Amino acid sequence: MENDELNEMRSQMAVLKEKLEKETIVNEKLLRDSMNTKAIIINRQAWISGVAALFVIFIVVSTWWEFMGISKVFCIVTVVYMVFAAFMTWWMHRDINKETMSGDLLTVAKKAKELKDNYNRWIKFAIPVTILWAVWFFYEIWRTNEDKHAAIILITCGAVGGLIGAAIGWRMHKKVVNTCDDIVRQIEE
């Protein structure tokens, strides 16, 4: 009788152990799928930033340089800064890929934290540079327009566009930072 009960308990333990192993495998697969989805979200922001940089370069070269009379030095500085910003975005995102997200979870958490830290350092650099750039841009518009009413309208439109761009950029920044936080939090749980 005791042997039957003991065998019954052993078989139940084996079944429970098997179910637990299957659940662990399913949970790890779900976690990996979640990491890959978050990597796609993060890298989508990088692609959007790259396309925006290319758009700005196109506008500078096609419009400001020739038609608006903006100084060549300002246009060159703008293009160089856009190339630099696109490069830095690529550099910060270089390790956020499917291969990294499939690696060990400690490395995934480390890379997510590193990206978040890089984004927070970049924003401290980008905000003052962008403000200086905007002041220089408004000066260029003022300097090149004899009709000061037209200059004021262009500066106002530029300021509104800059504020909209800043809001979009801040939202993108927060999305990447929050997604990195989600990755780390999910791994810690």
For 161-174, write each residue's pLDDT tens digit. 999 999 999 999 99
| pLDDT at residue number 80 | 96
With H, G, I as helix, E, B as strand and everything else as coil, classify residue 96: coil
- pLDDT tops 60 at residue 103: yes
Residue 187: both structure tokens together: 């791994």
For residue 34, pLDDT over 90 is answered with: no
- CB-neighbour burial class of residue 173 (10 A; exposed 0-12, middle 13-18, buried 19+): middle
Which residue's entry shows tokens 């260029």? 140
Mean pLDDT (the chain, rounded) = 85
pLDDT of residue 5: 72
Global pTM reads 0.76
DSSP code at position 146 = S
Q: How large is the angle between the packed helices 105-144 and 72-93, nearest 10 degrees?
A: 170
CA distances 51 to 30, 69, 78, 168, 177, Å, are: 32, 25, 15, 14, 20
